Amino acid sequence: MKMKGFYRYRVSAALLLFAVLGLSLWSLGPRRRAEQENRNVGLIADFRDVFLVARSSKVPVLEALSLLKEKGLSLLMVNELTGQDSENGFGPRLTPVRDGGPSGENAGTEVSLPNEKGGPLALSLLLARTGGTLSDSGSLPSVRVPATIEALRTTGILPDFEGLEAGVKAGLPLFYRVAPALPWQTQEALAAFEELVKAYPSISLVAPSGEMAVGYPNMGLLASLCREKEVPVAQVEFSRQLGGSMLESLSGFNLIPLHSVTNEELLARRIGRTALRDRMIRAVVERSVRLLVLRPSFYDNKGGALEDFAGELSSLADELRSRGFVMKQPTPLFSEVSEGSYPSLPAALSCAVMLGLACWSYAHRWGLGGGRRVLVLWALVSLSAGVAAWKIPSAARLLGAFAAVFASTEAALMAMDMRDGREIWRTLPLGFFFAVVGGLSIAALFSEPLYMLRLRTFSGVKLTLLLPPLLVLLHDLRNRLHPESLRELLSRPPLWGELLLCGVLVLGLGLVLFRSDNVQFIPGFEAKLRVLLEKTLVARPRSKELFLGYPSLFLLSTALSLGLWRRYREVLRIGVVLGFSSVVNSFCHFHTPLDFILLREFNGLWTGALLGFLVAAALRWGLLPLCRRARFLIE
């Protein structure tokens, strides 16, 4: 049988492949330098958590903050107080004001301020924030607000001056959470926030609190104010806050990713110190998160609350330092970046040539392409597509999606092309190298702020899990790698075994698509195994590669050499292509550092190959000799 694809014109194809690799690495240089320089990680504690652990340990708050700062605390989070905070015992006192009518209906709320907290600034901010009027009904300064206590329960009233002052005295930068406002008080709320930033220059990070961000749906007001004051916005991971994503999109890359675990989640899921620390480290190392909100785990305290919290903070800081990070307030990864400057022309060309190369090889396997002239024609068409992608964002998205699909498909076909005496030890490295180069070309195309900050998502991940198995199946039927052609397969009644196998494949593919980016649906034993692999290998291999793709390839090699399972080898081939799709998809996580991705894929290659070799050896020299009479194992 004549060699096809890369094997027939391997010199020309290899030159183009290395050209793609060179362009991709050159285009990825700025991203890699930014990732290496962006090593500051800010550890954050909520002032009210610190207040609680300090009181539990009978230690002054400033002394507690000094201890935590020594252990690695970088910022202090201070929330704007709401009516619910007042009900919980801290903040201003709220008293309903009744009108003089017979029913005595609520005509508003009187907000009483303690003299020692905030002073004249507190009174000024309260008047500006709520649109109230000064009242002389009591001994303490009071403001009559034209809103009911119920309406004020979830809206901001006043800054937590106790926390602000504690942060200033402790020398800690402040992370301020702006509470929601009543719809007709948005302008007043933002004006009060601007006045607060002037009074407290140490406010160096901002994020809205509550279920709905202040100013929604017009989030441009808060975004422009933060840009004007040069105060970054915390980009909270997995947030469902109404208006939060809109604020991030309008902030002009003035963002720093933040990972947080709420007290409710800590208690509901009984997250202990070790699990919490591992989760935080994973966010920093794998997702380039640079702000971590650490909360005390109260349910498993063994000593004093403050000592335990300080120990958690110290353990996390020490582990991050051992990985090369610095416990210091981070800065935005990008500043003053114009969207029109991305992607670069070399990046667009590298991805386009990769797509053309993969399409040419796939077509050539079908017998639709000629020789070097056709290859040159594909390259010229690819260059045109690259120029279009450089200028048109929608063309770049289509280019990246289909490059991921065909790079995954061709890499899998290369690895499985064990005809004419080619062994797995030759085909596997070639397929892996092609997948890595394809992934790097896609990463180069999308290594720009909108994608690295997850303000725009890559649409090719799900497509890469769906189309490559279909393309490989069509290729196999076309080239009679399956015993029957597509026409013969459709012209006869289906076998029960085939129906069962199709059902299993559909369920398996659905599970793969469903589990993609849904880590909460991972069973407990797999979660423990992942933690073990992370601690052992630093960069944990992806499950689809370690447990599916590479073992399927070794089982396929064994089946081919022994003449086994001719009718059912397609299951193994689909498993292989899903594994290689995972390799390419790893590079589509544009917020993950490149060095980490490369280490992860290398670990996946050698661990998956080792596991596949052991499984294939157990089948060849263990299971088959013991079960020679079981015909279903050898047919």
Tell me, yes or no, whether 51 and 164 share the same domain. yes
Among 294, 327, 360, the domain-final residue is 327
Expressed as residue numbers, the domain containing 469 is 5-36+342-633
Among 266, 300, 327, the domain-final residue is 327
Residue 299 belongs to some domain of the structure: yes
Residue 134 belongs to some domain of the structure: no
Residue 358 belongs to some domain of the structure: yes
pTM assigned to the model:
0.86
**How many CB atoms are closer than 10 A to CB 311?**
14
pLDDT of residue 139: 63
174-208 per-position pLDDT tens digit: 999 999 988 888 888 999 999 999 999 999 999 99
Cα-to-chain-centroid distance, residue 412? 26
Residue 300 has pLDDT above 70, yes or no: no
Q: What is the DSSP code string of 330-343?
A: ---S--S--GGG-S
Among 275, 298, 327, the domain-final residue is 327
Whichever domain contains 297, its CATH number is 3.20.20.370
d(CA 334, CA 451): 12
> What total of structural domains would you count in the chain?
2
Mean pLDDT is lowest, of 98-112, 138-152, 595-609, for: 98-112
Residue 58 belongs to some domain of the structure: yes
State the Cα angle at 174 between 229 and 268, rounded to 5°: 125
Burial class (CB in 10 A: 0-12, 13-18, 19+), 481: middle
Q: Look at residues 62, 35, 38 and name the one whose alpha carbon lies nearest to residue 50.
A: 62
d(CA 605, CA 51): 49
Tell me, yes or no, whether 428 and 466 share the same domain. yes
Residue 524 belongs to some domain of the structure: yes
pLDDT of residue 505: 58
Tell me, yes or no, whether 231 and 249 share the same domain. yes
Averaged pLDDT for residues 599-626: 90
Mean pLDDT is lowest, of 21-35, 113-127, 161-175, for: 113-127
Residue 231 belongs to some domain of the structure: yes
pLDDT of residue 173: 96
pLDDT of residue 293: 94
CA atoms within a 13 Å half-sphere pointing along the CA-CB vector of 106: 13
**How many CB atoms are closer than 10 A to CB 550?**
32
Q: Look at residues 427, 429, 416 and name the one whose alpha carbon lies nearest to residue 479.
A: 416
pLDDT of residue 118: 61
Residue 151 belongs to some domain of the structure: no
* Confidence bin at 369 (pLDDT 50/70/90): low
Tell me, yes or no, whether 299 and 396 share the same domain. no
d(CA 137, CA 255): 45
Tell me, yes or no, whether 26 and 56 share the same domain. no
Q: Is the omega angle on the peptide bond into residue 523 within 30 degrees of 0, that is, cis?
A: no
380-396 per-position pLDDT tens digit: 888 888 888 888 888 89
pLDDT of residue 102: 45
104-123 per-position pLDDT tens digit: 555 688 888 876 566 788 88
Output the six-digit token pair for 45: 């504690």
Tell me, yes or no, whether 556 and 610 share the same domain. yes
Tell me, yes or no, whether 319 and 346 share the same domain. no
Tell me, yes or no, whether 287 and 388 share the same domain. no
Tell me, yes or no, whether 391 and 504 share the same domain. yes
pLDDT of residue 43: 96
Tell me, yes or no, whether 287 and 347 share the same domain. no
Tell me, yes or no, whether 438 and 357 share the same domain. yes
Residue 124 belongs to some domain of the structure: no
Q: Is the omega angle on the peptide bond into residue 343 within 30 degrees of 0, that is, cis?
A: yes
Q: Look at residues 67, 37, 26, 38 and name the one whose alpha carbon lies nearest to residue 50.
A: 67
201-253 per-position pLDDT tens digit: 999 999 999 899 998 888 999 999 999 999 999 999 988 899 999 999 898 78
Tell me, yes or no, whether 253 and 365 share the same domain. no
Helix (H, G, I), strand (E, B) or coil at 543: helix
Q: What is the DSSP letter of 260?
A: E
Q: Phi and psi dihedrals of 108, rounded to 5?
A: 155, -165
Residue 98 has pLDDT above 80, yes or no: no
Cα Rg for the chain, rounded, in angstroms? 30
Q: What is the DSSP letter of 303?
A: S
Percent above pLDDT 70 for the chain: 83
303-346 per-position pLDDT tens digit: 568 888 999 899 999 999 999 999 999 999 886 544 444 678 89
d(CA 222, CA 228): 10
State the Cα angle at 180 between 175 and 184, rounded to 5°: 135
496-517 per-position pLDDT tens digit: 455 555 665 566 555 555 555 5
d(CA 431, CA 580): 8
518-577 per-position pLDDT tens digit: 444 455 666 677 778 888 888 889 988 998 899 999 999 998 888 887 777 888 899 999
